[in-house]
Structure 1
């Protein structure tokens, strides 16, 4: 069991996540489930496994790496935005659950970061729109 091998964990950073472009009507149930399993259930499972130990020891930190897409869902990534909204709701619920303890739960809502995945998405958008990559990058990243 991974949790037993890890020993006492005082800080959990829930940072795993998938994203990608796709028209709402083209994302099938299997893709929705995959996004939900990775973007939401990974945080549920890890937090559920580690929170009891944090509460027993009287200290801990759980941080979810969210996205502004969970607050303002993009039209071309509804499947992604919905899972990020669910993650924000999970973190809010856990923060209320741990309110009177020394365990804190927070979400960091970052904007687009120019990673390999974002670069691929920008290239996909540029090709679909017949637009220059730099113009799409500026629109998405705001640089």
Structure 2
């Protein structure tokens, strides 16, 4: 494992333990060269997934990017980090279980929307505003009206 501080390739594992949700191994490492300490996570990867963007471009699925986009939607919301981690892990598992080597950005967005709807209404609307490319304030109103008419805005995030 390369040291994030000095780039040295000689690091030692000082401590290993399962993550909170038991989907990864958390390892504390120390660099032999500079003495820097850092944490890494080891996860099972069933297959290498490629994301097909709307432009047609193909890029590897970046779990961290997915987690960051969810975190942005949930910024300043009362949601425990463990629930977010479970949601992201669940989305990645669902994508891997599809049996395909390629998934569309639209499929990922749909799964994120479903996950956020179950966790927090405000984050769900925030993510939808980007995912559905809202351009004006009235777009929010139309979306919220759709939610109300389907009864979806009355249960999410209040468990």
Normalising by the residue count of structure 1, what TM-score does the alignment of the two structures yield?
A: 0.27
Normalising by the residue count of structure 2, what TM-score does the alignment of the two structures yield?
A: 0.25
Please identify the structure whose Cα radius of gyration is greater: 2
More strand by share: 2
Looking at both structures, which has the greater relative contact order when contacts are Cα pairs under 8 Å and sequence separation is at least 6? Answer: 1
